């Protein structure tokens, strides 16, 4: 079953990768078509103005060039709609056909305007037009070879084509152009040289593009495969420590905002009923992503094991977890624990309306109706090598007060107009300005403020905020 799933996933990923590659190729083709079309369109407008000034009697050429301008403008409009085939055909072959048609028509209509430039200039344009198909078509495209054959044929058989229509400039001029044979051979050779050089350049470029696209596709597939594995790991993490992403489904007395920076998180929370008592905690493990998730699983396991052994007093619970993590990490490979966590643990006694808590470098607040109280905290984390025994404190509350616990990820988020951290001061102001809100409304407000502050910035760290209604 797992093999079939992986196979189906790989097929889906492959199709997505190929689609992305094709989309990239279409976007690149569209950009090239637009760039060349605008350039040619500008050149044609300049040529029309020059012809109108220098040879105003030769309206034939002006009509042909104007028609080509209209065609290019129309094809550019089609480009904007995502259909650039017509534009490619006009650039690759249409301009050559227009050039031949314009010169034949002009020589028949205006034989008195024929001069040696009528023989030389169109061929120079044909040599320049020869390389355009290589830019706008893939090397294996049938349209590429059709347009090249057409352009090369126009160049080599330039005089013969004009002669078929009775518009050979040499015949009309009744005189031999200097070095006629040499000019014919030279211009054809120049065109062939351009085509061959462009072929080898395009061939080398084509191979490099294929290799790059293959590497990009392979990297996308590998990334998707890794992301799929991490997403599955997030499901495992969620099933073990009841995490998830976003606002966790609120209970009657609590709401929690859990936002992993990556797919899996190094933060977690605990909300457990212990008879008449309620134990709540938020923890921020070292790192984020996969390393943070590993540490969070070990830390959650240590907290759960300590609770099962009957350690309920918060300071004693933290000391037990600290010893457990040291035992997990201090092996022959690791001489000292380099990973740990900041954590707040609160034991709530509804009958006495009291909170006993122990706080290891975390943020813990009691939002009362008449103000905000920042609760005590230790200046040491779980896992510190040099540490003293953790302390517990007890404080009383009144019904309707709200307990707020947060990891430093919320406070460390960069954003705002000046790309600064949100900070503890702004978080405390947010709480002070909203006394009396139920936990569901307060956690939604906290989430909205985070999204507003973050804006287009990336999330800085894992975020875990718990609000408990007392």
Domain range annotation of the chain = 2-220, 245-289+341-381+391-469
Q: Which helix (H) or strand (E) holds 394?
A: strand 393-396
Q: How far apart are CA 124 and CA 101, in angstroms?
A: 16
Q: How far apart are CA 288 and CA 261, in angstroms?
A: 7
pLDDT < 70 positions in the chain: 1-26, 113-121, 169-206, 233-237, 239, 242-250, 287-288, 329-339, 385-386
pLDDT value at residue 31: 76
Q: How far apart are CA 356 and CA 144, in angstroms?
A: 79
Q: How far apart are CA 314 and CA 345, in angstroms?
A: 6
**pTM for the whole structure:** 0.57
pLDDT value at residue 115: 62
Query: Which residues is 372 bridged to in the sheet?
Result: 367
Quick check: 282 and 265 in contact, CB under 8 A? no
Q: Which helix (H) or strand (E) holds 356?
A: strand 354-360
Dihedral angle of Cα 91, 97, 100, 103, to the nearest 10 degrees? -80
Dihedral angle of Cα 361, 464, 340, 372, to the nearest 10 degrees? 10
State the CATH architecture for 245-289+341-381+391-469.
Answer: 4-Layer Sandwich (3.60)
Give just the sign of the alpha carbon dihedral 134, 135, 141, 147. Answer: negative
Quick check: 249 and 217 in contact, CB under 8 A? no
Q: What is the pLDDT of residues 32-42, one digit of tens each?
A: 777 777 888 88
pLDDT value at residue 44: 81
pLDDT value at residue 445: 92
Could you write out the three-class secondary structure of 107-146?
Answer: HHHCHHHCCHHHHHHHHHHHHHHCCHHHHHCCCCCHHHHH
Reduced to 3 states, what is the DSSP secondary structure of residue 370? coil
Q: How far apart are CA 306 and CA 321, in angstroms?
A: 7
Quick check: 430 and 372 in contact, CB under 8 A? no
Q: What is the pLDDT of residues 294-348, one digit of tens each?
A: 777 778 888 888 888 888 889 888 888 888 777 776 654 544 445 678 889 999 9
Quick check: 348 and 355 in contact, CB under 8 A? yes
| Angstrom distances, CA of residue 405 to CA of 272, 422, 469 | 15, 16, 12
Which residue from 344, 418, 332 is spatially nearest to 382, judged by alpha carbons? 344
pLDDT value at residue 197: 65
pLDDT value at residue 45: 85
* Residue recorded with tokens 């690149």: 28
Dihedral angle of Cα 148, 153, 159, 164, to the nearest 10 degrees? -120
Quick check: 397 and 404 in contact, CB under 8 A? no
pLDDT value at residue 465: 92
Which residue from 192, 167, 180, 44 is spatially nearest to 113, judged by alpha carbons? 167
DSSP 391: -
Quick check: 21 and 213 in contact, CB under 8 A? yes
* Residue recorded with tokens 């977690």: 268
Burial 134-162 (b: 16+ CB within 10 A, else e): bbbbeeeeebbeebbebbbebbbebbebb
Reduced to 3 states, what is the DSSP secondary structure of residue 371? strand
């Amino acid at each position: 079953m797992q093999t079939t799933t992986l196979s189906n996933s790989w097929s889906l990923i492959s199709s997505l990768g190929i689609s992305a590659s094709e989309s990239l190729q279409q976007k690149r083709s569209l950009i090239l078509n637009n760039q060349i079309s605008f350039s040619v369109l500008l050149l044609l407008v300049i040529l029309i103005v020059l012809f109108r000034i220098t040879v105003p009697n030769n309206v034939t050429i002006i009509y042909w060039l104007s028609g080509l301008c209209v065609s290019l403008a129309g094809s550019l409009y089609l480009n904007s709609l995502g259909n650039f085939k017509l534009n490619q055909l006009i650039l690759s072959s249409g301009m050559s056909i227009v050039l031949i048609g314009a010169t034949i028509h002009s020589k028949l209509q205006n034989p008195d305007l024929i001069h040696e430039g009528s023989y030389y200039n169109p061929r120079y344009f044909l040599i320049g037009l020869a390389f355009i198909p290589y830019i706008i078509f893939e090397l294996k495209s049938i349209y590429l070879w059709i347009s090249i054959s057409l352009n090369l044929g126009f160049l080599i058989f330039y005089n013969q084509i004009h002669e078929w229509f009775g518009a050979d400039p040499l015949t009309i001029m009744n005189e031999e152009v200097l070095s006629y044979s040499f000019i014919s051979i030279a211009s054809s050779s120049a065109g062939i040289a351009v085509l061959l050089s462009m072929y080898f350049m395009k061939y080398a470029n084509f191979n490099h593009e294929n290799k790059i696209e293959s590497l990009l596709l392979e990297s996308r597939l590998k990334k998707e495969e890794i992301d799929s594995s991490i997403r599955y790991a997030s499901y495992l993490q969620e099933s073990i420590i009841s995490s998830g992403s976003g606002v966790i489904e609120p209970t009657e007395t609590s709401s929690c905002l859990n936002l992993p920076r990556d797919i899996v998180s190094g933060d977690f929370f605990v909300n457990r009923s212990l008879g008449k008592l309620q134990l709540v905690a938020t923890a921020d493990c070292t790192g984020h992503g996969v390393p943070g998730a590993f540490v969070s699983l070990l830390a959650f396991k240590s907290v759960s094991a300590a609770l099962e052994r009957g350690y309920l007093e918060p300071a004693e619970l933290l000391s037990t977890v600290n010893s457990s993590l040291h035992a997990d990490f201090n092996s022959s490979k690791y001489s000292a624990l380099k990973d740990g966590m900041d954590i707040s643990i609160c034991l709530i006694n509804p009958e006495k309306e009291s909170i006993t808590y122990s706080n290891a470098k975390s943020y813990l607040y009691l939002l009362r109706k008449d103000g905000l109280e920042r609760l005590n905290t230790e200046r040491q984390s779980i896992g510190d090598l040099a540490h003293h025994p953790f302390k517990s404190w007890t404080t009383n509350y009144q019904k309707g007060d709200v307990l707020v616990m947060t990891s430093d990820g919320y406070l460390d988020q960069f954003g705002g107009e000046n790309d600064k951290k949100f900070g503890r001061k702004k978080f405390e102001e947010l709480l002070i300005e909203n006394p009396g809100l139920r936990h569901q409304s307060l956690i939604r407000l906290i989430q909205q403020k985070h999204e507003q502050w973050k804006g287009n910035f990336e999330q800085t760290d894992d975020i875990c905020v718990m609000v408990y209604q007392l």
